[in-house]
Structure 1
């Protein structure tokens, strides 16, 4: 059995303003323990151990666009990290799409927030309280 609980290798999003996008994610992702791990012309990868989240100018050189109904959810290590992510995102030019808190539709263990980055991508920080999760099963 595979010991890696993840189902994704990485996610990439496009930007029409590379420097603005990098400034945003350089400020926001450290609140979740992420850092820049790789850089290429027009692309930067963030992660904890390996490049999991890429921000880049589109390779086909056409304008980047936002997927309606698409969002990226980052794992937060605590409720405090969710709050810090939300505050950092707003300070870096993001737009609030849902303040930190529980969401009954996701179950009692969930605590998270949603923001739009400067390109309009919807991003989330989510903390799952494992103790509450064990109590529900």
Structure 2
């Protein structure tokens, strides 16, 4: 499978960190609960994914401190409610802060199940499972 075959609109996301080693230890454990692993490493940069580099962790390239985006978060795809629960438990174990325990999120739709965590740098991350088939895409008008 190539990354062009993956049905997603996002190629990758990056989060800055002020403590690279701590962030890598956190994401090594947390993303393993979702079947992701390190797929690329360079000095000061680690990329995680299932098939290709989807999520990157590194110090900001401009040399300034990493800061948290207000209103922004990264949601990781889980394949089951159990994965969401494992993600949440591992994140807490590794120093993350609970920002919404695993459970339904009816504001996002009846089939939506997720949890929210603040990583060690304060970034808001989520594991989410959509417990229904995706809705059909609208047909394009020609």
State the TM bucket, normalised to the shorter chain: over 0.9
Q: Deviations over 1:6-56 (max 9, x none)?
A: 001100000000001001001100000000000011110000000000000
1:74 maps to: 76
- Where in structure 2 are there 5+ consecutive unaligned residues? 137-142
Q: Deviations over 1:77-113 (max 9, x none)?
A: 1000000000000000000000000011011111100
Identify the residue that residue 114 of structure 1 maps to in structure 2: 116
Poorly superposed stretches of 4+, deviation over 3 Å = 131-134
Q: TM-score, normalised by structure 1?
A: 0.92
Aligned length: 133
The change in CA–CA distance for 1:87 and 1:133 in structure 2 (over 3 A counts) is farther
RMSD of aligned C-alpha atoms? 1.6
Greater helix share, 1 or 2? 1
The runs of 5 or more residues in structure 1 that have no matched partner are none
